[in-house]
Every structure is written in structure tokens, then in C-alpha cells.
Amino acid sequence: MKNNEILVSVKFNIKNRVRTLSFLVVKDITLKEFIQGVYYGLKNFNPDESIDADTTLSIQDCFQAFEQYIKTHCELLILYTIMGEYSKVDITEQSMDVLDQQKKVKNNYDLSLSSLGIVTSSEFFITDNDMVTNVPQLFDKGDREKTYILRDNNTLEYNISTRRLNVIEPTVIDILPAGDMPTKAKGSLLDTIAPPLITGLGMVGIRFFISQFSSNSGLNDSMLAMTIAMPFMSAVTSLYNRRKQSKDYKQSVSEWKEKYENYINETIIKKKIVKWQKDEIVYLNKAYPRMGTLFNQTGEISTAIFARSQNDNDFMRVTLGESDEIKPSFQIKAEQKDDIFYDVRYKLHPPKKGKDECPYITIEIPPKHKNKKGYQQTTEEMKNQFLLTELPYIFSTTQETIGENGEKEITGFKFLRDSSAKAEKPPLLVDLKNIGTLGVISKNDDVSLNFIRHLAFELSFYHSPEDVQLVFFFNKEKDIEKQSDIINDYMFLPHANELFDGLSQFVFDEKSAGEVYSQLQSIISERVKSNSSDEPDSNSLSEKVTQIICFVLDDYDIKEKAFSKYIPEAPKEGENYENSLGLTFVFIQKEKGMLPKYCGSIVELDETIHRISNRYNLLSHETLSKLARGKDSSTTTDDIIEYTSFTNDYIFNNGTKEHPNSEFDIAFRRLSSIYYTRIAENGKVPSLVTLFELFEDIYKLNNEQIQTDELTNIICKNWSDVQNNDVTRNMKVAVGKNEHGITYLDLHENADGPHMLVAGTTGSGKSETIITYLIGLCVKYSPSDLNLMLVDMKGGGFSERLGKLPHCVGTVTNTAGESQGISAVYMLKRFLESLNAEVKNRQIILSDLDVDNADAYIRTYRKIKKIHELKSNPNERSKYEELIQEIRDGKKEKQIRYIDGDISKLKPLSHLILVVDEFTELKRFSSESNDIDFIAEITTIARIGRTLGLHIILVSQNIEGAINDDIRVNTKSKICLKVATKQASKEMLGTTDAAAATMPGHGRAYILVGTGSRYEYFQSAYTGANKNTDIKPATKMTYVTNTGEFISDFYDSTKHNDVLKAKNKKLSFGITQLEYVVEKIIEITSQKTSNGTNKYDVPEKIFLEPLPVLLSDDNDEFNEWNEV
């Protein structure tokens, strides 16, 4: 859709048979014109189509139903308007009421569709059942207070506002190690008591031996007793110390265990892991809300709509559903340690009810009997217990284990989980921008279509049509109404209507597939060309391009098409795929083996399995062991790669209770109806502007006044009012209309000039734009003040329309001398010689009055001429003396000399505008001529002619490579209409705006002055409108087919409207507005004064046609050879 168009439909429901027809129309078409267009278009349209006559209406059935409805109803029912649930528009020309439910608003039958609240996705409803109920509103009344767009405006003009970007800070949780467990003193009980006992026994033996030789037996007995008591006391002390050490050891172990458990449970699990996971889940669900939330935001026209740009980190990132297998953004610093001497283990337990719902660990200290030699721990004792040294690694790499009975037991924190009762799962995100190809395996057609609809809505919601375009390759289907049912959600979507010009982005058969592949090939090949660089490693897009996403249910033998070379190829191992062409595929097939060679990710949508896997997977040795343990010989590596499972009620079910899938229809319509203001591209610019509309004085006249001498009077008034229409001050003329009013162009050196470039493809309206400016100058300035010189290198059509003007002092075309056997190169050489002679002549003329620019000369010439006119008029003596004093104050002897001197030799001077249409053709002629470079000559004249009153307008349709540095430096203004390539647009405007798919032709243009001091989008005038203003320009409607090429000639009011044709037969068609103005200007310059002289001076021709090869004189009276 172009930015001045809307896509509306007419839905028929007659006797339980239905048919929906969609039409592309300009938004300022009137309701009356639309009704007539549908009526006469259907009447004359007889397509070859396949329908089920029992359920679907044919085109002729629709015509009969429409005709009957219009004749029998005085109100037309319109669904999905801005104003409310529906509108009933009175279509009788006597009463012009528009009923908006209970509110009655006076309106006019000739109002435009947009003023009636009709937008893209609005639907005219033709039915044999006058009772219409349960029609959903486009926007609920309750939502009108939630957004300024619905509250303050009666339009849906939406501005893409600034967006705040949020990124979760990458964080690492570093778990401190537990450290060494307190050690127990080594040695047994015997080791404790043996030393004092051995020492005591030794001392007792020695003492006993000594006592045998001693005479004092009492002393000996005492000493012996003491000797026996000392080791006994020492043994008791040692036993006490051992018992105390054992108790202290147990306490130390208990404290070590408690402290580390508290550290892990409170600091790591509760305050960090669990809390951060909950926070992250909340954030992800806010940043990537559920589909039901998007439905609500669409109704409120949320600022999130179209908000993502290509530079955002979440561009083309969509959700597949909900999953409890999403990894957190933070990392647990994990390092697996193999410590064969460490036997302390831990176990992670699920949350206790009423205990903050956090998992917790307990450290398992091996009991004493486990240290006995030969003891083996049982499997049950080992279950889900891990070495304490492995805790960080297990936390980061595992989530849970599944028992024999299917019960799950938590082991780690690999995925985001929230065990709260009302907690939501986090969304599963997929980055489509750099995935290349997303493979989808689904045997259920309904699930496949639901999957496409889910992705298409998210892409359309978050991204503007400028950034994302969708192409759909559906399974083959001939029945038109079945096609309509399939594309019902997308048919109005701008994201599915702006990639191609006049071609549907929905494919249902081989023919339409070939057409779409051809268009895609053209677009992508141009991108490849723009990507080409001298740098061998340059493989990325040099500029922002529209991302194209192709949903492929049937590939229509894509491998046999030339376009297949652009299907993404697998990158080198370890490298990421780079989307260098802005092209992404989503292939949906029933079997994995039917998917293309490279898929960045594969989604499986079976009845019980909903999961996604990536192409590259890093397998640990623990994972590899699963493959080794596999008993089934058919086990492959595909069975051990990492999958992420997900759920999505909008894909696998019928939506949710609050938001069923039926809401997709109204949500898509809302997105389609929103018109967003694009940079320098406003939909308020009128679609058609006639030449007379630009001339304020003429536009005020009615048709009868225009046919009289009123136009002549206006032109004569302009020419004589030199004070207001002074060519030395400005050359400002209306060339079209923008959203605010008139667009002007002023090629005066002090404004937008003196020189200009114009570019546009065939049919873009560049000739009309330039002719509008030139004829506007001729209406405003007399031939004495402004002249034209036309070089037409495309056959003479341009010069023929303006060549008869008295302002025109020369024309040359590439075919002018063909009848005389004179080459175009020769004609161009004559033209350049004449132009160079004019440059030298102007330099001489300026020297006559000792001035350095044309404007100074013209002003001085006027003063001197006025002095001589007032010399004999005593009533103007003061003015006469004032002018003389001004001349004398200039202190230029050559000027003073003419106060009383002969001014017959003083030549007039005008501004001269040289227009070279299709100037790039001059390059070809330069190659055919060895002695002259036409482009260089024109450029030189442009450089030195700035002060000589010369203005050059260079026009071409193929601008690429034609603008050299000299041309670029000397052309201040550029007008760019629709061009074929982005490179051409960039050379003209510095942007790709004029090559956008939404850029209309037929006079829609950008004007750029300097480097951006003025950048304006406007509609130039159409000079071919009839001079009889009662005859309206043609109204056209395009029938938008479900697939294949649109029917652009469905309705043309000048061809199909019987009433209008009959009315126009009674009117005097006459000539076009341009021809009429040219005719009047020629008549004016033919007027004589009372003494028989011309009322207006007509300039001499600068370029004269060469003499014919054969001269003939039919008047024999003056033939000197008569008598011979």
C-alpha cells in the first residue's frame, strides 16, 4: 500500500453464501465515488475464477446483490470504523445524515472515506439480513481514555515515540568453598593410655628393683606408691583430654556444617539465586508479555506498537510460548573438582511449606561406620547426593532428576523457576533476525497455521512495516473463499502489503509462486549488488533494509528457481549465521527430512512434544555417557542434544478463557488500521492536485469565469505588477501541495537555486512536475523577464507542450533533424554553440552598465528605461529626479551616461532557464562525438552562468552514476520522485526514501535544498486535467486479489462509469489546463497597442533550427529564375 491509500473490503452475505472483495483506493476518495466504483467495477468485471457455488458468491452474484442493496436501502452499513461499533451512512442524496449509534451527526454524501472514519480494514457489509448484531468495535469506548490518539483525534495517526531499552546486567554468583572440615585427632584409645601405662610400669619395675637393695622399707613403700599413682593419674588425664577433644570435634563439625548450610541456603539460594530468578521471570514477562496482553495493548494503541528498530537488541525477537527450561541471565561460577579424598556430600531439598518457599541443602557427614574398611555406601544412600566440592557445578548444570515413578527431585538451578503458587513461567524467546532458517515440524495443519499466526502477529505488533515484511507460501488452494479464510487475519496488514507493487504477498498456486519468487529475486539481487565492496570481508548490509520473512508451507519447487541461491547456507562451524541480505525463512513441514539443508533451529510441534533445538550443541562427557548407555541400536546423537520444551495455548489450544484465538481477527484489524507518521512521508498529502488549484486567483474562479477572459486578466496583472513579481528578487512559484498547503520552488540564487536536479522513473510524474514549475513562471513573469530554453532528449513530447510559448527562445530534441538527415549530435553541437554565444553575449551586456550580475543589470535597465519614459511627463517629476539620483549615487559612468544618452542600443536582459530532459542521454552522445563532452560543457555553463541569470534544470530517470562532483556542487536543489533503486534515491536525497515500496508514483515527490535546510514531501500538480473544472479527474480503484497480480484497472470512472460518461458527453471537454494557459499566454503576446506595436515584447530566439536541405517557394512571383 502506498502511503496515500487504504485497503477496504466489501463483504457479501446473501442466502448463507459469502464473498469478501478487497479494494485499494486513495483515502480522499468520496463515499459516492467509492459506491460508484464498486458498482460499475463489478458490472464490468468478469474474471476466470474457481469457487464453490454452494457456499461462495460469484462476481456477478456480488454485482446483483450490490445493485439490489443500493436500490432498496437508504443506509449503508460500514463495520470497523473509527467511530464505534459500526456506522450507518445515509446514501440518499436528499438526506446527508451519518448515524453513529445513538448520535446523529450531520454530514455530506461527498465526504471522503477518511472523514467518515473509514480506515484500512473497514468493511462495507452487504447482506439480506438487516439485523446485524455482535459486531466487534475496532476500538472499545473504554479504551478511548487510555490513549491520546483515540481521546483527542478522530484519526488513527500514530507516532512511533522514543523507546527506553533495558538490558539485564550480566552477573556472576561466586560460591565460596566450604573449606576443610574440622579434623579429628588421630589415634585409638590404646594410643591414648598406652604411653602413661608403659611409663608407669617401667617406673614401678625400677623402683621395685631399687627397693630390694634399700634398708628403709617404709620410704621404699611410699615411693613405690607414688610411682604407681603418677602413671595412673596421667592415664586418667589423657582419657579426659581425649573425651574433651572428641566433644570439641563434634561441636566444630556441627558449627562448620551449620555455617556453610546457612551460607548456601540464606545468602546464595534465598537472597541471590531464588530472588534473582523470580525477578528475572517477572521482568521477562513484562518485556515479552503474553498474547492476551498484546491484544489489550493493541486496543489501547500502546506505545510498544512498531516500537522496535533495527538497531535494538530485541529486533525480530519473538516468543514461542512459556517454558520452565529457560536459563537465567546470571551465571553460577562453576568448576568441577575431582577430589577422591573428599567424602562429604550434600543434598538439595524442595521448599518446605511455610518456609519462604526456597529449596535448601543439608550436608551429609559420613557416619563413623562408613569409615570402616570395606564399607560400601548403598545406591539409595547415594541417590541425589553430591560431593560438597561439586556444589557450584551441580547448581549451574542440573535442575532435577526423574525417579522411576516419574517424580521429580530438585538437584540444581540451571533454569528459571518460581515455586510460588501463582507464578508464571518465563517466555521462550527466539531471535529470527540471525537464525537464517527456522525449521518447523508439524503434522497438524491447524497447529501449523496457528504457529504462523502467532509469529506474524508478534512481528507485526513490535515492528513497523518499513522494517519487517511478511511473505506467505500457503499450500495449494484454488477455492477463493477458502483462500480468504486462510489470509483473513493478514489481508489488511501493511506488513503483508508493502513489499511488492501490485502483487499479492500470499501464494496459493504455481503461477503466483513464480511471480513472487521473481520479485524476491529482484529485491535480493539489488541488495547483493549494494553489498558488493572492494573489501573481501564485507558481507553485511551497508544500510538499513526491510527484513523479509517468508513463511513456507509449500515451497513450490523453490530449488528449481533462480531465487533458491539465496536460501541461507550453514555458516562455518563455531561461527554465527549473519543475515547479510535481510532474508529469513520459516519452513513448516510434516517430516524432519523435508526441511532444507540448513536450519538454525528446529521446532517440533507434535501432539505431546513441543520443543525447540539449535543446530549447534555443546555436549559434555556426562551427556555422551547417555549415548554409550543406550541399549537401542537406533539411538542417535539427535536423542541426546539439548531441547527446550514449551507450551502455548494460542498454538496448541484455542487460546485462553480470557483471550480466545478469535481475538486475533480484531487485533490484526487494529494493527492494520493504525496509520503511523513516517519520516517526511505524510498521508495527509493530497493524492491529486490540478494545475488550477495552485494558482490562487484562478482557483477562485468558477468554470464559466475560466472560459471567459478572466484568466487573461490575471496573467496580464501578474506581468504588469513588477513590484510584487520581481524576477530579480525571487522566482517563487507553486509546484504542488504538502500536508500543510502549497509547496513552492524558488530557483533564484538567493533561495533554492540557481540550478536543480530532477529524477524519477517513467510514470513517476517528473515531466509534469517540471512543466508545472515552468508554466507557473510564465504565468507570473512576462517574456521580457524570463525565458525558457528546452533540450528534450526523449522524443520531443516535453518540448512540444511548452515550445510555442513566447517565453521559449529555443528547443532541441534528439529527433529534430532526422527528417532532414541531420544527426542529433550535430543538433546538440549547434545548441551548445548557441548557448555559449548567449553566455558571451550576456557578459558583454553586463559590461555595458558596469555591473557584475544579471539582477543588478535588470534593475538598472528598468530605472534607465523609466527615466526616459518619465522625461516628458511633468506629473512624475519627483519620481524622475529620484531615479536619476539613484543612478548617480551608484557612481558608474556607463550608467550615468545613459541618463540623457541614446538607450536604443541598451539591450534588455532576462533570466534564462535551461531544461535538459533526460540529460544522461548526453553521455551517450558524448561517446559518439570525439571532439565534445556535452555533460562537461553543460556543467561549465552552469558554473559560470550563476551571475548571468542562467538557471539549469537537469532531468533524468536513470540518475545512478550520472551525477559527478561538478554537477553535485553546482546544483543546490533536488526534486526526487519515485526511483527504481535505493542507490538512485541515495544519490539524490542521501536516503532511500524515494525508492521505498510505499512511495507512490504520479507526482509524489521529495524536495531537498542544500544539505537538508529544506526537506519536504509533496504532491506535484497534474497539468493534464481538463480546463472545464466541472469535469473531474478520473477515479480509479484496484481490486486486491488473494494471490497473484492485483487488478489495477478494476474501475476507471472515465471508462466504466456510464452515468459520468453520459454527463461528460454534454460538457465541453475542450483542452487541458496546460494547453489552455499556453493558449492564453500566446494570445496576450499577440495583442497590439493603439499605435499598432506589440503590447508585450517577445524575445529573439537564441537557438535557430538549421535550414532545410531543400528550399521551395510556392510563390512564383518572386522567383528570379522564372524567366530562365
**164 pLDDT band (50/70/90 cuts)?**
confident
Answer for the pair 479, 51: CB distance below 8 angstroms, yes or no. yes
Residue 964, judged by CB atoms within 10 A of its CB (0-12, 13-18, 19+), counts as exposed
Answer for the pair 952, 942: CB distance below 8 angstroms, yes or no. yes
CATH of domain 750-849+908-1018+1074-1124: 3.40.50.300
List the Cα angle 584/588/591 in 5-degree steps: 130
Answer for the pair 770, 953: CB distance below 8 angstroms, yes or no. yes
Handedness of CA 571, 576, 577, 579 (dihedral sign): negative
* 405's grid cell: 515413578
| Rounded distance between C-alpha atoms, residue 1124 and residue 1121, angstroms | 5
Quick check: 452 pLDDT over 60? yes
Quick check: 81 pLDDT over 60? yes
List the Cα angle 328/331/335 in 5-degree steps: 135
- What pLDDT sits at residue 403? 63
| Rounded distance between C-alpha atoms, residue 336 and residue 339, angstroms | 10
Highest average pLDDT, of 102-111, 535-544, 994-1003, comes from 994-1003
| Rounded distance between C-alpha atoms, residue 395 and residue 386, angstroms | 11
User: What's the pTM?
Assistant: 0.79
224-253 pLDDT tens trace: 677 667 777 777 777 777 777 778 888 888
Q: What is the mean pLDDT of residues 620-641?
A: 66
- What pLDDT sits at residue 371? 47
- What pLDDT sits at residue 820? 63
Q: What is the mean pLDDT of residues 1077-1081?
A: 93
**Percent over 90 (pLDDT), the chain:** 39
- What pLDDT sits at residue 218? 62
Q: What is the mean pLDDT of residues 747-755?
A: 91
**Considering only CA atoms, which of 967, 1040, 968, 1048 is closest in space to residue 1001?**
1048
Residue 1113, judged by CB atoms within 10 A of its CB (0-12, 13-18, 19+), counts as exposed
CATH of domain 5-158: 3.10.20.90
More confident residue, 623 or 122: 122
Amino acid at 125: F
Range with the poorest average pLDDT among 332-336, 418-422, 541-545, 892-896: 541-545
List the Cα angle 795/800/806 in 5-degree steps: 145
More confident residue, 220 or 54: 54
**440 pLDDT band (50/70/90 cuts)?**
very high
- What pLDDT sits at residue 536? 43
Quick check: 421 pLDDT over 70? no
- What pLDDT sits at residue 96? 38
| Ranges for all domains in the chain classified under CATH 3.10.20.90 | 5-158
Range with the poorest average pLDDT among 547-551, 698-702, 873-877: 698-702
480-519 pLDDT tens trace: 989 999 999 999 999 999 999 899 999 999 999 999 999 9
Q: What are phi and psi of 953, to 5 degrees?
A: -115, 115
812-853 pLDDT tens trace: 887 666 666 677 778 888 888 999 999 999 999 999 999 999
Amino acid at 402: I
More confident residue, 854 or 111: 854
More confident residue, 88 or 468: 468
**Percent over 70 (pLDDT), the chain:** 83
Question: 10 Å Cβ neighbour count for 1010?
Answer: 11
Quick check: 856 pLDDT over 60? yes
Q: Which residues contact 72 (CB under 8 A, 6 or more apart)?
A: none
Question: 10 Å Cβ neighbour count for 45?
Answer: 18
- What pLDDT sits at residue 250? 85
- What pLDDT sits at residue 604? 94
119-132 pLDDT tens trace: 899 999 998 876 66
- How do strand 317-322 and strand 742-746 relate by DSSP bridges? unpaired
More confident residue, 714 or 143: 714
| Rounded distance between C-alpha atoms, residue 911 and residue 725, angstroms | 13
Q: What is the mean pLDDT of residues 615-622?
A: 75
Q: What is the mean pLDDT of residues 370-387?
A: 61
| Ranges for all domains in the chain classified under CATH 3.40.50.300 | 750-849+908-1018+1074-1124
| Rounded distance between C-alpha atoms, residue 253 and residue 232, angstroms | 32
Q: What is the mean pLDDT of residues 59-68?
A: 93
| Rounded distance between C-alpha atoms, residue 167 and residue 155, angstroms | 35
- What pLDDT sits at residue 800? 86
More confident residue, 165 or 804: 804
Quick check: helix, strand or coil at residue 1115? coil
Q: What are phi and psi of 713, to 5 degrees?
A: -65, -40
1040-1065 pLDDT tens trace: 999 999 999 999 998 888 888 777 77
Quick check: 39 pLDDT over 60? yes
CATH of domain 432-531+542-628+636-676: 3.40.50
Buried b (16+ CB within 10 A) or exposed e, 1069-1107: eeebbbbbbbebbeebbeeeeeeeeeebeebeebbeeee
Q: What is the mean pLDDT of residues 678-687?
A: 64
Answer for the pair 56, 480: CB distance below 8 angstroms, yes or no. yes
330-377 pLDDT tens trace: 998 866 666 555 678 899 988 887 656 789 999 888 765 344 445 555
- How do strand 437-441 and strand 583-589 relate by DSSP bridges? parallel
Question: 10 Å Cβ neighbour count for 497?
Answer: 26
**104 pLDDT band (50/70/90 cuts)?**
very low
| Rounded distance between C-alpha atoms, residue 1065 and residue 1056, angstroms | 14
Quick check: helix, strand or coil at residue 892? coil
Quick check: 57 pLDDT over 60? yes
Residue-wise DSSP of 769-816: HHHHHHHHHHHHS-TTTEEEEEEE-SSSHHHHHHTTSTTEEEEEETTT
Quick check: 83 pLDDT over 70? no
CA distances in angstroms from 309 to 427, 836, 982, listed in the order given = 21, 53, 20
